[in-house]
């Protein structure tokens, strides 16, 4: 056991602080208790002392000693992910090599090669604001390379990110937005893919707390207010099921749990309903204590008992017993009509399945059968290895491809012989062709899905049987990249296009040789380099290609100086439009100064409002530096926000609206209500007459007793818009009024 003497002296020399550190360390040992073998405690103590000594002068943004962070990460690894001793040591040391004087060699000398390799993989992604996007993606790529060697790297990384999210309050607003976006864009889907549903859910909820604070607080408040009646309903729903199971001698636990705030919000947005109308605010979970050989049979028995009591919705049955998800998840989900006419989701699992659902990959190892497992995870890692080994992929493309290929939910597709291929949701017939073999993919001209002829861009659904049709004359084209989603397909198409480009470039090579000889120069590497530099091109290949397709006619060669057989470019070098990211007006000496957006024509700042989310004063916003266009202002809940903040954090500028009642901003609302005589009159009177708001355009469509109105109007700020929405809702017969949130305002 570590003693107070082992804890280094902190600058404050605070005994309370030492006691706090020791208390946290002891609570880590407590959760590890069942896993400790002789000698383990000593190794953990050495790692703890090494980390405490290395971080002794460091503090977190909250002011607390830094060592509390690695201890907390280690605790998450053990308690919430189910990892063991070696992972605990790695978690304690995960920031030492990056941030302190400890080297990888020190770690290897003390703990051996395996732990050193994991710590190396964990050397954390830098979040420095001026880091460029490709470096961020490069770091992510490195982590994934290590992941395929040892998946513990990514599990510890997820624990690190979860603790950072739990302690995000002390960070500045722009960092909160950037870290939250990155979390929801990459880390939450990664946790989901690793089977860590609780961690995925908490990450999404915490990200939402910072990205959409008002909605988050509103849903959290409503969940708290309805807790009592929910509990009462759950008990009423469970009672008859418990009786049936006892009679059938099934040993099962039944309980209800609330859905996450993030998933409730997604339902509200997707279905366009208010909180009160979201029917499945909770799910019922049934855990059966069954031996492995009887699990499936018992799960179906329970399903049968439930559907005897309550009517199921046939299209809401999800059978992951017969075909588990790629991350190992097994369960039976059904939605039934409960008391008081409410739909209720029921999840049925064995205790083993539940441990895999809660602890994901770590539990999966625990239950791994020697004989049967070139497991789904192993196949997944193999696919990632294949993609990463294609070093030519651009880093940002890689991050996007990785997300769509490896982090999406999967669908099951059958070959004509009945073999199953797993593909991400959104995959097309062409993705399937490349999944079978690259040589088939590049020659694909069409497909038969369930015996019907479809184009190669046809989107597939789970259960489809697909036969690929090929032709030796077919060649990949640029537009193929627009409708494939798997990394393998994108990589192979890019390779094929590059090959095609090389063939075309060969023509340009001969043209260039003739032109150089025509001015008395030679076709040498020096001369080619001069031209590549002059035309600002990335490579020789691009120069030859541009000459071949006649984008460059080489007329400028006459302006070059020829000495012997060498050419020299005229001065100054030909300038292409500068890709400057300087914006006049954003030159504040204070690094963290908030940028104020005025919205006046006299502004020195070049900015525009993003079309994807149409911000208005009062919205929570951030600025994004766009090449050539100055600053674009986006709402933090814009559909593109997560991608921009996660991939291009260095281009994000803190922004704030100034109070300004003189400028009006275009926004849009959608109104749904009963189609009544004079309804248009009532609406326009309220907007233009009473509230004096300018209407830019109005369309009303009536259908079967209901009307839907789309109105574009000019408001000064969010306060004015909120007041308008409330006033419209108070009109008789108006069902809902919504701002256009996630799409362009219709013209």
116 vs 86: CA distance, rounded Å? 11
The answer to whether the beta carbons of residues 184 and 204 sit under 8 Å apart is: yes
pLDDT at residue 38, as a whole number: 85
Q: How many percent of the chain have pLDDT more than 90?
A: 14
- Transcribe 319-375 into DSSP letters: ETTTS--TT----EEEEEEEGGGEEEEEEEEEHHHHHHHHHHHHHHHHT--TTT-S-
659 vs 641: CA distance, rounded Å? 24
When pLDDT is cut at 50, 70 and 90, the band that residue 545 belongs to is confident
19 vs 4: CA distance, rounded Å? 8
Q: If you average pLDDT over residues 50-70, what whole number do you get?
A: 87
pLDDT at residue 346, as a whole number: 93
Three-state SS string across 669-705, please? EEEEEECCCCHHHHHHHHHHHHCCCEEEEEEEEEECC
Indicate the pairing of strand 332-338 with strand 420-424: unpaired
Give the residue range(s) of CATH 3.30.70.260 domains in the chain. Answer: 665-739
pLDDT at residue 592, as a whole number: 41
DSSP structure class, residue 124: P
Cα→Cα distances 240→246, 309, 338, 384, 599, Å? 10, 8, 11, 47, 62
pLDDT at residue 123, as a whole number: 66
Return the closest-CA partner of residue 622 out of 23, 712, 382, 631: 631
Give bridge partners of residue 737 from the DSSP assignment. Answer: 671
> What CATH number was assigned to the domain covering residues 4-213?
1.10.3210.10
Would you say residue 4 has pLDDT above 80?
no
Would you say residue 390 has pLDDT above 90?
no
Q: If you average pLDDT over residues 377-394, what whole number do you get?
A: 57
Q: Render pLDDT for 518-534 as a digit per residue (tens, 0 to 9).
A: 777 888 888 888 888 87
Cα→Cα distances 202→110, 189, 311, 359, Å? 35, 12, 32, 14
Least reliable range by pLDDT among 134-138, 384-388, 682-686, 725-729: 134-138
Give the residue range(s) of CATH 1.10.3210.10 domains in the chain. Answer: 4-213
Would you say residue 2 has pLDDT above 60?
no
When pLDDT is cut at 50, 70 and 90, the band that residue 298 belongs to is very high
Would you say residue 433 has pLDDT above 90?
yes
Q: How many percent of the chain have pLDDT more than 70?
A: 80
pLDDT at residue 399, as a whole number: 57
Q: Which CATH superfamily is domain 220-364 in?
A: Beta Polymerase, domain 2 (3.30.460.10)
The answer to whether the beta carbons of residues 660 and 681 sit under 8 Å apart is: no
Q: Render pLDDT for 649-658 as a digit per residue (tens, 0 to 9).
A: 777 777 777 6
12 vs 575: CA distance, rounded Å? 57
Q: If you average pLDDT over residues 299-325, what whole number do you get?
A: 88
Q: Who wins on pLDDT, 710 or 394?
A: 710
pLDDT at residue 555, as a whole number: 74
The answer to whether the beta carbons of residues 658 and 711 sit under 8 Å apart is: no
Give the residue range(s) of CATH 3.30.460.10 domains in the chain. Answer: 220-364
pLDDT at residue 631, as a whole number: 79
660 vs 478: CA distance, rounded Å? 47
pLDDT at residue 524, as a whole number: 85
Q: Render pLDDT for 126-171 as a digit per residue (tens, 0 to 9).
A: 332 233 444 445 555 555 555 555 677 888 888 999 999 999 988 8
Evaluate the omega torsion of the peptide bond into residue 572 and state whether it is cis, within 30 degrees of 0: yes
> What CATH number was assigned to the domain covering residues 665-739?
3.30.70.260
pLDDT at residue 596, as a whole number: 56
Question: pTM of this prediction?
Answer: 0.62
Q: Render pLDDT for 225-249 as a digit per residue (tens, 0 to 9).
A: 888 888 898 899 999 999 999 898 8
Residue 121, CB half-sphere, CA atoms under 13 Å: how many?
Answer: 26
Q: Render pLDDT for 665-694 as a digit per residue (tens, 0 to 9).
A: 888 899 988 877 778 888 888 888 888 888
Tokens of 473: 């004359």
405 vs 422: CA distance, rounded Å? 11
Residue 303, CB half-sphere, CA atoms under 13 Å: how many?
Answer: 23
Percentages helix, strand, coil for the chain (3-state, rounded to 5) are 50, 15, 35
The answer to whether the beta carbons of residues 435 and 423 sit under 8 Å apart is: yes
472: Cβ contacts below 8 Å, ≥ 6 apart: 443
434 vs 390: CA distance, rounded Å? 15
Tell me the three state secondary structure of residue 402. Answer: helix
Q: If you average pLDDT over residues 469-474, what whole number do you get?
A: 88
Give bridge partners of residue 714 from the DSSP assignment. Answer: 666, 694
Q: Write down the mean pLDDT value for the chain.
A: 79
Would you say residue 601 has pLDDT above 50?
no
Residue 408 sits at φ, ψ, to 5 deg, of -80, 160
When pLDDT is cut at 50, 70 and 90, the band that residue 383 belongs to is low
Q: Who wins on pLDDT, 495 or 280?
A: 495
pLDDT at residue 434, as a whole number: 92
Tokens of 196: 């860590």
Q: Render pLDDT for 481-495 as a digit per residue (tens, 0 to 9).
A: 888 988 888 888 888
Question: Which residue bears the tokens 């064995």?
Answer: 350
pLDDT at residue 384, as a whole number: 62
When pLDDT is cut at 50, 70 and 90, the band that residue 177 belongs to is confident
pLDDT at residue 432, as a whole number: 94
Q: If you average pLDDT over residues 60-79, what whole number do you get?
A: 89
Would you say residue 94 has pLDDT above 80?
yes
136 vs 644: CA distance, rounded Å? 13
Active site residues: 98-99
């Amino acid at each position: 056991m570590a003693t107070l003497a082992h804890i280094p002296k902190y600058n404050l020399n605070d005994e309370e602080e030492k006691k706090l550190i020791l208390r946290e360390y002891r609570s880590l040992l407590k959760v590890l208790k069942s896993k400790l073998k002789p000698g383990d405690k000593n190794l953990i103590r050495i790692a703890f002392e090494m980390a405490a000594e290395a971080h002794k002068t460091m503090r977190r943004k909250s002011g607390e000693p830094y060592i509390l962070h690695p201890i907390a990460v280690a605790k998450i690894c053990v308690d919430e992910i189910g990892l063991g001793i070696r992972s605990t040591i790695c978690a304690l040391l995960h920031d030492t090599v990056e941030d302190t004087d400890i080297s990888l060699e020190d770690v290897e000398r003390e703990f051996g090669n395996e732990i050193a390799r994991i710590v190396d993989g964990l050397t954390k992604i830098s979040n420095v604001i001026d880091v460029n996007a490709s470096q961020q993606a490069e770091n992510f790529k490195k982590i994934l390379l290590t992941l395929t060697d040892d998946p513990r790297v990514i599990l510890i990384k997820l624990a690190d990110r979860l603790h950072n999210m739990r302690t995000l309050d002390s960070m500045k607003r722009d960092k909160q937005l950037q870290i939250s976006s990155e979390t929801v864009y990459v880390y939450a889907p990664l946790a989901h893919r690793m089977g860590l549903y609780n961690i995925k859910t908490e990450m999404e909820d915490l990200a939402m707390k910072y990205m959409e604070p008002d909605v988050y607080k509103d849903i959290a408040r409503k969940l708290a207010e309805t807790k009592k009646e929910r509990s009462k309903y759950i008990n009423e729903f469970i009672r008859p099921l418990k009786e049936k199971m006892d009679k059938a001698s099934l040993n099962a636990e039944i309980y209800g749990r609330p859905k996450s705030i993030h998933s409730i919000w997604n339902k509200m947005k997707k279905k366009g309903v208010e909180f009160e109308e979201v029917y499945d605010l909770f799910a019922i979970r049934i855990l059966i204590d069954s031996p492995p050989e009887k699990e499936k049979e018992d799960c179906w028995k329970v399903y049968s008992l439930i559907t005897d009591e309550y009517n199921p919705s046939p299209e809401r049955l999800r059978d992951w017993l017969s075909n588990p998800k790629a991350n190992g998840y097994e369960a039976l989900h059904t939605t039934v009509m409960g008391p008081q006419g409410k739909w209720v989701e029921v999840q049925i699992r064995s205790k083993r399945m539940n441990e895999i659902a809660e602890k994901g990959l770590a539990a999966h190892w625990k239950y791994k059968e020697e004989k049967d497992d070139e497991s789904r995870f192993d196949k997944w890692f193999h696919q990632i290895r294949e993609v990463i080994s294609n070093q030519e992929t651009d880093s940002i493309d890689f991050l996007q491809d990785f997300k769509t290929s490896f982090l999406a939910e999967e669908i099951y597709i059958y070959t004509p012989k009945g073999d199953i291929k797993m593909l991400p949701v959104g995959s097309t017939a062409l993705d399937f062709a490349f999944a079978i073999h690259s040589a088939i993919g590049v020659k694909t001209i069409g497909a038969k899905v369930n015996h019907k002829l479809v184009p190669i861009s046809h989107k597939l659904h789970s259960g489809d049987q697909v036969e690929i049709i090929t032709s030796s004359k077919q060649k990949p084209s640029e537009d193929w990249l627009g409708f494939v989603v798997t990394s393998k397909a994108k990589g192979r198409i890019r390779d094929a296009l590059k090959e095609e480009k090389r063939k075309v470039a060969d023509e340009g090579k001969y043209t260039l040789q003739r032109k150089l000889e025509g001015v008395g120069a030679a076709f040498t590497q020096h001369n080619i380099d001069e031209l590549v530099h002059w035309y600002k091109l990335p490579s020789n290949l691009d120069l030859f290609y541009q000459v071949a397709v006649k984008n460059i006619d080489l007329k400028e060669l006459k302006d070059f100086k020829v000495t012997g057989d060498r050419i020299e470019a005229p001065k100054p070098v030909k300038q292409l439009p500068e890709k400057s990211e300087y914006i006049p007006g954003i030159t504040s000496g204070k690094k963290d100064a908030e940028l104020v957006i005025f919205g006046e024509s006299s502004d020195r700042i070049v900015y525009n409002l993003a079309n994807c989310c149409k911000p208005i004063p009062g919205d929570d916003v951030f600025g994004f530096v766009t090449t050539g266009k100055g600053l674009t202002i986006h709402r933090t809940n814009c559909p593109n926000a997560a991608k921009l903040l996660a991939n291009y954090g260095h281009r994000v500028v803190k922004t704030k609206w100034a109070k300004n009642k003189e400028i009006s901003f275009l926004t849009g609302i959608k109104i749904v209500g009963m189609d009544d005589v004079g309804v248009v009159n009532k609406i326009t009177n309220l907007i233009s007459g009473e509230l004096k708001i300018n209407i830019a355009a109005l369309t009303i469509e009536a259908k079967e007793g209901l009307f839907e109105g789309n109105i574009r109007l000019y408001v000064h700020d969010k306060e004015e818009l909120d007041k308008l929405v409330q006033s419209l809702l108070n009109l008789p017969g108006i069902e809902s009024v919504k701002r256009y949130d996630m799409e362009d305002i219709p013209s």
